[in-house]
Amino acid sequence: MSTDKKYAYYPGCSLTATAVAYDISTKAVCDALGIEIKEIDDWNCCGATEYFAINALPAYALVARNLALAQDEGHSQVIAPCSACFLNLRKTDEYMGKYPDLGQKVNQALAAGKLHYDPGSLRVRHLLDVVVNDVGLDKVESLVKKPLYNLRLAPYYGCMIVRPDSGFDNVEYPTSMDELLRTLGAIVVDYPVKTQCCGGHMTQISDDTALDLIGRLLRSAAEYQADAIVCLCPMCQLNLDAYQDDVNRKYGTDYKIPVLYFTQLMGLAFGIPEKKLGFGKEMVSAKPALAKITAEPPPKKKRRVRRPKEALPMPGQE
Amino acid sequence: MTETRGGDRFFDRVVAATPGGEKLALCLQCGTCGGSCPSGPDMDHTPRQLFAMIAADMEEEVLNSNTPWYCVSCYYCTVRCPQQIPITDIMYTLKRMAVQKGKFKEAEAADFSKTFIGMVELYGRSFELGLATRYHLAHHPLKMIQMSGMGLKMLQRGRMALRPEKIKRLDQLQAILEKAKQLSAQTGGAA
Ligand code: SF4
Ligand code: SF4
């Protein structure tokens, strides 16, 4: 892995608004870990999952402007903390190289703005990948001052960080965040729906579809008695956090499961003050969960919590 | 602007408009895609059925199906398809074709996408409040009331901007997008 810990930083639109807690905690944690990030000057929106549905070439060109800007700034790697941005940047770089006709057209479009991008010149990375694989868990462990003892966490990866082929973890059963959270001292529940869909933009289009998907994720976390769900994508966080009330209303449930970013929990374990990590911005308060953290590790249990049968990972079924 | 490249057959046009789309010819009709799809229960046709319809050149029915619009880009089907068919990308292609032909029943999903990219073309960034206001006012004003409670909480927590953020070199971005649209029109939208 690269020893050079300098990266271009592509926050993406969500991190300037709904996911500002992710942005703040990312910066705090990168600082602590010695990951040097420099925000790409004048970056633009990646188009999320919307632009490709309307017109493909402008959608690629929109993404490619960011790649071209980062390349011009002399970077060889770019970090995107949002899974949708990560996918779009990665896919555009890959497709421009794999389909030369597309690459050429995108560059023709970029030329109208006096820009150019050479596919393959930037490695697009998700923040989790950089933390686990470039920095490493040993370094993370060395920084843990206040372990998250007794906190039961459900690691939620969602879709676009591993699929279709980001390559740094298993597409259906990733474990890198599990290991990271364990390194922080937390109890990681074997969350069977960890890579199922959060509903994406369906919250805006069809309540029934979206709340059904969100409800599944909350139900499973509740069955495993998770104190919090940990995520790594602003869309996942928003759907699980802001729509939890709607799920409760629709299904007559009473979930109050805070949905936090992995960076917030890292910062907490590093002893960084909560305020500098964006705590308090979540709709479902994290306070009761954080109060469960103890100074001593929990006594080792002999028996593992049994996996409820109906929570086996069966996407699309239930 | 229609996706016409690649011959007259609907099947060929779908293939031509999708990078790596030629694999669609290899579909085994095994149903793995539909069985993996989180939106399956709400779709008019499962992805497998849709691909059989594409192979049969049932353009009208395919472009009128709500299936592509219920695709949430989770890529489960894509990683599980034994033939490595880029299913998610094909769903995007079908959305584009439906928009270009003004077909699609699911006007809301298409309008959400359009409103979103309208914001991006105007500011270079997406703007949640503007997006929610425009899109929901047009489609479900009642939802605005429900949303406003949530919006207020988001505002109180500093999670929603009242004004859009604009990038500095908006003219540069717009020139790039304009050129891309021209190129796209020349090649019939195939990418
Ligand atoms: S999983 Fe692939 S081969 Fe099987 S039906 Fe779906 S598209 Fe066809
Ligand atoms: S990518 Fe779309 S079609 Fe494929 S499984 Fe996910 S939602 Fe279904």
pLDDT at B154 (0 to 100):
82
> pLDDT for B152-174, tens place per residue?
788 888 888 777 889 999 999 99
B40 lines ligand 1 (CB under 6 A): no
Q: Is B73 in the pocket of ligand 2 (CB under 6 A)?
A: yes
Tell me what pLDDT residue B138 has: 66
Number of H helices, E strands in chain B: 11, 0
- Taking the Cβ of residue A82 and every Cβ of chain B, the question of whether any pair is shorter than 8 Å is answered with no
pLDDT of residue B4: 45
pLDDT at A51: 83
Give the mean model confidence (pLDDT) for residues A301-306: 62
**What per-residue confidence (pLDDT) applies to A317?**
43
B74 lines ligand 2 (CB under 6 A): yes
What is the amino acid identity at position A284?
V
The pLDDT value recorded for residue A1 is 43
Residue A2 confidence (pLDDT) above 50: no
DSSP B2-28: ----S-S-HHHHHHHTSTTGGGGGG--
Give me the residue from B150, B161, B168 closest to A242, CB to CB. B150
pLDDT band at B131 (very low <50, low <70, confident <90, very high): low
For the entire predicted model, the pTM comes to: 0.90
- Please, which residues bridge with residue A124 across strands? A78
pLDDT in the model for residue B150: 78
C-alpha distances in angstroms, A267 versus A29, A205, A238, B173? 6, 35, 20, 36
Residues 75-104 of B with CB under 8 A from A: 75-76, 78-79, 88, 92-93, 95-96, 99
- Nearest CA residue ID for atom 2, ligand 1: B81
Between B74, B172, B177, which is nearest A159 by CB? B74
Give pLDDT tens digits for A20-31.
999 999 999 999
CATH number for the domain whose boundaries are A137-290: 3.40.50.11810
Pairwise CB contact (< 8 Å): B191 & A51: no
Q: What is the CATH number of domain A6-127?
A: 1.20.1050.140
Q: pLDDT tens digit string along A106-132?
A: 999 999 999 999 999 999 999 999 999
A277 vs A23: CA distance, rounded Å:
9
- Contact in structure between A12 and B161 (CB atoms under 8 Å): no
| Average per-residue pLDDT for chain A | 92
Inter-chain residue contact B165 with A160, CB threshold 8 Å:
no
Q: Is-cis flag, bond preceding A164, omega within 30?
A: yes
Ligand 2, from B24, B87, B89, B95: best to mutate by most atoms within 8 Å of Cβ? B87
List the single best residue of A40, A52, A161 to mutate versus B (max B Cβ within 10 A): A52
For the Cβ of B75 lying below 6 angstroms from any atom of ligand 2, the answer is yes
* Radius of gyration over every alpha carbon of chain A, rounded to an integer in angstroms: 20
Q: What is the pLDDT of residues A267-282, one digit of tens each?
A: 999 999 999 999 999 9
B113-172 residues touching A, CB cutoff 8 A: 113-114, 116-117, 120, 124-126, 128, 132, 135, 150, 153-154, 157-161, 165, 167-169, 172
Count other C-beta atoms under 10 Å from residue A81's C-beta: 29
Task: Please state the rounded mean pLDDT for residues A161-169.
Answer: 90
- Going from the N-terminus, what domains does chain B have, and what CATH number goes with each? 1-104 (1.10.1060.10), 106-191 (no CATH)
- Pocket residue to mutate for ligand 1, from B51, B79, B93, most atoms within 8 A of Cβ: B51
Higher pLDDT, B131 or A73: A73
CB of B116 sitting under 6 A from ligand 2: no
More confident residue, A305 or B123: B123
| Boundaries of every domain in chain A | 6-127, 137-290
Interface check for A165 against chain B (CB to CB < 8 A): the answer is yes
Query: Does residue A65 register a pLDDT over 80?
Result: yes
Residue B128 is predicted with a pLDDT of 72
Residue A311: what pLDDT? 59
Predicted confidence (pLDDT) at residue B103 exceeds the cutoff of 80: no
- B22 at interface of A, judged by CB pairs closer than 8 A: no
Percent of chain B residues topping a pLDDT of 90: 55
* B186 part of contact set with chain A, CB < 8 Å: no
> Tell me: the pLDDT tens digits for A189-204?
999 999 999 988 888 7
ipTM rounded to 2 decimals: 0.88
The alpha-carbon gap from A4 to the nearest alpha carbon of chain B, in Å, equals 29
CA distance B56 to chain A (A): 23
Label residue B112 by pLDDT band (50, 70, 90): confident
Task: Please determine, for residue B9, whether its predicted confidence score (pLDDT) is greater than 60.
Answer: yes
Q: Residue B1 — pLDDT band, cuts 50, 70, 90?
A: very low
For residue A208, the model assigns a pLDDT of 84
B55 touches chain A (CB under 8 A): no
